[in-house]
Structure 1
């Protein structure tokens, strides 16, 4: 009997040239075999596998950057997360469908709204917004290219994003040309000076929906250098993708947090009174107020979650505990959790024997990757409230 895996949909938004297709090709290249991250990706269809590999080859060998997605094209890329055990059998855990919309949909004038686009946008579980590192760098230097991006491209993307209430991952592409000139904290603070960006973050923070700022380089450090005329010159070094696995790893943990915040909000409305809100009250304590303490809290939560988020109780508990750290304390907590998560990842790999245990292991892998992000870039979690 064939097992039907849960599929989680990600909408990729970004103006032309921001690097959406290159990001996918690089993510697939890095995760196409099982390495330190403990799982690998398999793309649906040989044609798409060859296409992504060809795109990556164009960059790494032919020194050509691929053409952008045409206006009429809506590219869908479905990846299956799979785990190979120590005895070599392979089990599938879940799927992620990335919908790559042409940048022109955000910036070009249209006579009518695209109904198909709007429908897909509302159904997506996560939005991934590509922020071009080259244009961000120009903005930091108060150059015309950066100002144009901040006034036109960015607000158009933010306007689309506000029509979906799911987690947002802002991915800074081309981090290799940003690093060394600006820190992630400086980039974050500059973005928050843009009213549209700040407004979106504040609304999401109030609702408890995660917003992240994730630095990524599809080719890695030293592969290409920015030229005085704004072009990119390839140095001849082999590409070493940086952080391309991180946005994928953040999807499920952030969605669980968002779903639980929504459940608490609905329960609060049913009670017709606000729940106790103390500064030192953990996320777990807040859930206890709504769903009752003790052993039944996880069972009560599980029954209310959408089916695709009804994970095993031990995994659900782990994601809740992970979500409860305040943003300002996550870096300190991440250091303490590193070894623990590494041990849990190794143990869960040994326990993989079917699709359910494969999913448990993959989520452990995701938490380990996200923990590294919190350690290395604590300002990635944009929390203002």
Structure 2
């Protein structure tokens, strides 16, 4: 199981996003070929209730109570002709916005929050689309008022950080993701956080931090709600929600975790290479043996501890196909590497019925998530999504 903490000021749409994510993936996704199952019937009922409040004609759901700390645990399931298998488990922790923007109001829980953030596998920071719209029109005070504390808390997380711009329907067609990125980078705190992820080698960090992304999302889609003269979001009559990019924010986490594990392996490989440089001529056999442990261990351990059973040689072939360096580094026999690469190529045409156990389900879902993410990144309108 891996843990994602959602952060953002009150009203940014954290709980609505999670409800929309579950609604979109409660049935098998047509491209990902997997679905999400909440941990309990109670969680399933609660998420359904939240989404019905969003989709219905009544008021929007109330903000998260600052005295509770909702945790939503999902199993990602794959169903094939051989049975139903669990590819991975993911836990979302939803912190009330008031506890982030006004930490004094929850000082007794501040230590718990900071510890949770340090131990999180990834962070999901939500930027309220209404306030981003004001930012693009010249009023960026929300970054100082609402987000400075969030940026400060995020800097201790070494995993991926994904910023989700909610209510993207307000911005689409008026501003590009690239324009918004450039405007955000003008804020010193946001820029410092982003640059801390790109200059890790300058500071000689042993392991690169996780990737930082900017993802435009609308939990209800276009034409469902509009911004009223009072500054509030109002539902249109007889409109149906059509969530946009909600699945992309979910799809990006696992590939970025795998990529970081692989980056850690490569960093260890380089460290061993430097240490071995200048030693006796026959150092290569020792190098290969040492690197086999320092490279294979981070990838397999990091993923296995999170319930993600993906063979190291498959990850190596998947992330570095076409080179032999990885095979040498992790001491993979050439026959195994060729097998892994054939498996990698075959996944594009592979039917879900090839899944026969949980490990195969994890491999299958990993490849589907990467394809979904790559398709998103290739779209010209999403230029600027990767910040580091």
TM-score where L is the length of structure 2:
0.81
Residues 1:167 and 1:118: Cα distance change in structure 2 (over 3 Å): same
Moved more, 134-143 or 19-28: 134-143
What secondary structure sits across from 2:72 in the alignment?
strand
* Equivalent residue number for residue 365 of structure 2: 362
* Equivalent residue number for residue 187 of structure 2: 194
Structure 1 Cα separation of the partners of residues 130 and 385 of structure 2: 19
**Larger of the two Rg values belongs to structure:** 2
What secondary structure sits across from 2:75 in the alignment?
strand
Please report how far the alpha carbon of residue 271 of structure 1 lies from its aligned counterpart in structure 2 after TM superposition: 5.8
1:1-385 correspondence to structure 2 within 5 Å: 7-36=1-30, 37-85=32-80, 87=81, 89-110=83-104, 111=107, 114-143=110-139, 147-207=140-200, 208=208, 209-235=210-236, 236-266=238-268, 268=270, 301-305=295-299, 307-309=301-303, 311-313=310-312, 315-321=314-320, 344-347=347-350, 349-376=352-379, 377-383=382-388
Deviations, residues 72-125 of structure 1 (Å, cap 9, x unaligned): 21110001000111x373111110000000101111141566222122111110
What secondary structure sits across from 1:262 in the alignment?
helix
Deviations, residues 114-149 of structure 1 (Å, cap 9, x unaligned): 222122111110000001111000110013xxx221
- Consecutive unaligned residues in structure 2, runs of 5 or more: 201-207, 278-286, 305-309, 324-342
Contact 2:5 2:117 in 1 (8 A): yes
The runs of 4+ residues in structure 1 deviating greater than 3 Å are 262-275, 296-300, 340-343
CA RMSD of aligned residues (A): 2.8
Contact 1:79 1:97 in 2 (8 A): yes
Structure 2 Cα separation of the partners of residues 341 and 234 of structure 1: 45
Deviations, residues 314-372 of structure 1 (Å, cap 9, x unaligned): 540354238x9xxxxxxxxxxxxxxx999725405131011111111111111111111
Please report how far the alpha carbon of residue 10 of structure 1 lies from its aligned counterpart in structure 2 after TM superposition: 0.2
Structure 1 Cα separation of the partners of residues 47 and 363 of structure 2: 28
Please report how far the alpha carbon of residue 256 of structure 1 lies from its aligned counterpart in structure 2 after TM superposition: 2.0
TM-score where L is the length of structure 1:
0.81
Structure 2 Cα separation of the partners of residues 267 and 297 of structure 1: 6
Residues 1:60 and 1:67: Cα distance change in structure 2 (over 3 Å): same
Residues 1:60 and 1:88: Cα distance change in structure 2 (over 3 Å): farther
Structure 1 Cα separation of the partners of residues 122 and 2 of structure 2: 8
Please report how far the alpha carbon of residue 152 of structure 1 lies from its aligned counterpart in structure 2 after TM superposition: 1.5
Deviations, residues 202-256 of structure 1 (Å, cap 9, x unaligned): 1111234310000111001111111122111211311111111112211121112
Contact 1:341 1:367 in 2 (8 A): no
Residues 1:186 and 1:318: Cα distance change in structure 2 (over 3 Å): farther
Structure 1 Cα separation of the partners of residues 196 and 363 of structure 2: 32
Please report how far the alpha carbon of residue 304 of structure 1 lies from its aligned counterpart in structure 2 after TM superposition: 3.2
Structure 1 Cα separation of the partners of residues 99 and 317 of structure 2: 39
What secondary structure sits across from 1:12 in the alignment?
strand
Contact 2:269 2:291 in 1 (8 A): no
Structure 2 Cα separation of the partners of residues 95 and 14 of structure 1: 23
Residues 1:354 and 1:158: Cα distance change in structure 2 (over 3 Å): same
Moved more, 28-37 or 256-265: 256-265
- Consecutive unaligned residues in structure 1, runs of 5 or more: 1-6, 276-290, 325-339
Moved more, 23-32 or 116-125: 116-125
What secondary structure sits across from 2:199 in the alignment?
helix
